[in-house]
Amino acid sequence: MNMQKVMVLNGPNLSKLGAREPEVYGSANWADLVTSITERAGQLGIEPDVRQTDSESELISWLHEAFEAKLDVVINPAAFTHYSYALRDACAMITKSGQRLIEVHLSNPHSREEFRHTSVISGVSTGVIAGFGFDSYLLALSQLAK
């Protein structure tokens, strides 16, 4: 069977899950997140390519890679969500070509500080899932499996 490939991209500070603000992001760590994604993807017949970077430039180059390979994307842009027009343009390139891109967040940014209420990514995303911890990613994968 040909597995559906999906890129699961993560922005800055997400490698510090578990240690970073556990009251907001939970006590499970980055490796736990990768395991959860890999397990659910396997059940759904998806082959996930899970990556994390603190670099805006690297994240954009991965979106270019997804675009070239015509892959659907799950992305937690982390703080870049709120201000990176360069990331938005890269996401728009993907969704405007018909590939799906789902923006996910562990927390619900709308219930947090004011600066988190703006996402420059949502307007060019296929959909947004926020506030369900690791389940935000797993729900996105379920949707992409349809």
Active-site amino acid positions: 25, 105
Strand order in the sheet with 72-76: 46-52, 4-10, 72-76, 101-105, 127-130
Q: Does 16 bind ligand DQA (CB under 6 A)?
A: no
Among 28, 79, 92, 128, binds ligand DQA (CB under 6 A): 79
DSSP bridge partners of 76: 10
H/E stretch holding 63 reads: helix 56-69
Could you tell me if 76 and 105 are in contact, meaning their C-beta atoms sit under 8 angstroms apart?
Answer: yes
Q: Which stretch binds ligand DQA (CB under 6 A): 48-56, 65-73, 100-108, 121-129?
A: 100-108
Residue 52 near ligand DQA by CB under 6 A = no
Beta carbon of residue 21, minimum distance to ligand DQA (angstroms, whole number): 9
Residue pair 106/134 in contact (Cβ under 8 Å)? The answer is yes
Kindly state the tokens that stand for 82: 């709120």
88 binds ligand DQA, rule: CB under 6 A = no
φ and ψ at residue 52, rounded to 5 degrees: -140, 140
Q: Report which residue type is found at 95.
A: T
Q: Give the one residue of 7, 41, 75, 109 binding ligand DQA; rule: CB under 6 A.
A: 109
29 forms part of the interface with ligand DQA (CB under 6 A): no
Work out whether 76 is an interface residue with ligand DQA (CB under 6 A). Answer: yes
Q: Binding ligand DQA by CB under 6 A: which of 38, 95, 107, 143?
A: 107
Count of residues interacting with ligand DQA (CB under 6 A): 10
